[in-house]
Structure 1
Amino acid sequence: MHPAPSVIFFSTFSGLGFGLLMFLGLGIPAVTGWMAFAFFAIAFVLAVGGLVSSTFHLGHPERALKAFSQWRSSWLSREGVCAVAALVLMGLYGAGLVFFSQQWTLLGWLGALFSLGTVFTTSMIYTQLKTVPRWNQVWTPLNFLSLSIAGGALLAGQITWAIILLILSGVIQAAAWLMGDSRFSQSGTTLATATQLGDRGTVRAFEPPHTGTNYLLREFVHVVGRKHAQKLRIIALVLMAGLPVVLLALLPFNHFIALIAIVAHIAGVLTARWLFFAEAEHVIGLYYGKR
């Protein structure tokens, strides 16, 4: 798949923002007043900024509001509903902490639930696609959720939990890659099954469908070299989990160390998300002889 920057930024930063909102909704860290305002401001900038960036990949951004009406059948619509619910609930909950020093626990827990639900519905937009076997597996939602929660713990300053969750998210990310590598072959989809001509012999394309490129090739067929992918996977794991864990576990904690850990984690997640799209083999590539 074409790794569009807008979708990479969206899935990375909105995940971090909603991960932090989840912890804030659970009362972690226990802050009020201006300190609460700072935490909620960071969370809302990340979450809302990520959601806004996703609209840049839409052909008609002005029609985005119509997506809310399809919540019965569309994970994209459910994502929008969950996101709005999470932001409204957490906005009210944050107002109580900032302006009244009141912790409205029920609002916080509901906001945390919808924050986590937003990340889950985002992941299901990709997981449901049988046409992209690499995404169509249980490791996809686990990957999105684990990175969101680990990033939220890191931003919330929960060092012990951040170390544990970062290691766990790194393991899940590695598993998603390893399991995903064989998903296309396991799906059984080939040019023979697509054309239903397999019983007549070996099926191959006689010649390309056309001489130039088109929308399908630009959006659904992206090939990344295996050697480059392996290097990027190592870089992503080191940055998203390895370096932050080493910094938090072995060095005296201070704000400078925390900043480096957060920046490294974000860089690692951005790299992993680029691979998430670049390595996704859409079955339509069979038609063009790209798989």
Structure 2
Amino acid sequence: MHPAPSVIIFTTFSGLGLGLLFWLGISPDPHGGWVGFTFFFIAFALACGGLAASTFHLGHPERALKAFTQWRSSWLSREAWSAAGALAVMGLYAFFWVLLGIHIAPLGWLGALLCLATVGTTSMIYTQLKTVPRWNHWSTPALFFALSLGGGALLAGYINTAVFLIALSGAVQAYWFWQGDQRFSDSGTDLGTATGLGSRGKVRAFEPPHTGTNYLLNEFVYVVGRKHGDKLRLISLALSTVLPLLLLLTNPGHLLAVIAVISHVTGVVVSRWLFFAQAEHVVGLYYGKR
């Protein structure tokens, strides 16, 4: 699928921000004063900035509020409600703690749960799509959770926790890459099942459906060369997992910790680009692209 910059920004930075808010919400001894303000500011900036970016790939961004009306059937609507709840509760928690010095732990726990719910609903927007077999698997929400919590722990300065979770997210990411390559063929979907003519024998297209490009080809039949895809996968794993782990395990100071954060975020951006660019939509069968 076409990797729109808005959804890459959305899924990368909202996940990091919500992951940081999760750790701030469950911390038994959170930072107060200006230090606490700085942590909450970074978390809200990432979460709100990422969520705001998600509206830019809508055809009519002014209608985004209508997403709240479809919570019974739409994971996008559920994401909107859980995100609004998470930001409201964590905002209230931060107000009492940072500005008034009142630590209401249950409020932080509730906000942390809502942050996890938001990450989960975001992942389900993609996981539910049977038309994209690479996404339609339990490893997709596992990847979203691992990256959010690992990146959040890194931003929160929880080094030991970050080492474990970043290593875990790297393993999940590698599995997602490897297993995802087999998912389209394992789904059993081909031109025969798509047309309902498979029982008559092998089905092939007589000629291309269109003589030129169209919306479906532009948005759903984006193709990345295997050689380039493999290189980008190695780059994403090296930046998001290997380099941050090496830096964190050397007992880093502030400078190396900042480099680890930058490396991790850059690697996640690359992996998110691949998440969309290598998502083979079944509509590509009609154009001979699958």
TM-score bracket for this pair, using the shorter chain length: over 0.9
Corresponding residue number in structure 2 for 1:111: 111
Q: Establish whether residue 86 from structure 1 lines up as the match of residue 83 from structure 2.
A: no
Contiguous gaps of at least 5 residues in structure 2 = none
The worse-fitting range, judged by mean Cα deviation, of 256-265 and 28-37 is: 28-37
Contiguous gaps of at least 5 residues in structure 1 = none
Corresponding residue number in structure 2 for 1:181: 181
- Post-superposition shift, 1:17? 0.1
Corresponding residue number in structure 2 for 1:35: 35
Aligned-residue sequence identity (percent) comes to 64
Q: Establish whether residue 272 from structure 1 lines up as the match of residue 271 from structure 2.
A: yes
Corresponding residue number in structure 2 for 1:25: 25
Runs of 4+ aligned residues of structure 1 deviating over 6 Å after TM superposition are none
Q: C-alpha deviations, 1:91-118, integer Å up to 9, x for none?
A: 0000111111111111100000000110
Q: State the secondary structure of the residue aligned to 1:21.
A: helix
Cα pair 1:29 1:157 within 8 Å, conserved: no
Whole-Å Cα distance in 1 between the matches of residues 90 and 29 of structure 2? 14
Q: Establish whether residue 283 from structure 1 lines up as the match of residue 282 from structure 2.
A: yes
Whole-Å Cα distance in 2 between the matches of residues 197 and 135 of structure 1? 26
Cα pair 1:28 1:156 within 8 Å, conserved: no
* TM-score computed with the length of structure 2 as normaliser: 0.98
Whole-Å Cα distance in 2 between the matches of residues 97 and 27 of structure 1? 12
- Post-superposition shift, 1:199? 2.5
Q: State the secondary structure of the residue aligned to 2:72.
A: coil
- Post-superposition shift, 1:29? 6.1
Cα pair 1:166 1:241 within 8 Å, conserved: yes
Whole-Å Cα distance in 2 between the matches of residues 258 and 28 of structure 1? 23
Q: Given residue 62 of structure 2, which amino acid in structure 1 is its aligned partner?
A: E
- Post-superposition shift, 1:210? 1.1
Q: Establish whether residue 70 from structure 1 lines up as the match of residue 70 from structure 2.
A: yes
Cα-Cα RMSD? 0.9
Whole-Å Cα distance in 1 between the matches of residues 85 and 45 of structure 2? 16
Q: State the secondary structure of the residue aligned to 2:287.
A: coil
Q: State the secondary structure of the residue aligned to 1:287.
A: helix
Cα pair 2:28 2:105 within 8 Å, conserved: no
Q: Given residue 267 of structure 1, which amino acid in structure 2 is its aligned partner?
A: T
Gap change, CA 1:185 and 1:107, over 3 Å in 2: same
Corresponding residue number in structure 2 for 1:196: 196
Q: State the secondary structure of the residue aligned to 1:202.
A: coil
Q: Given residue 155 of structure 2, which amino acid in structure 1 is its aligned partner?
A: L
Number of residues of Structure 1 aligned to a counterpart in Structure 2 = 290
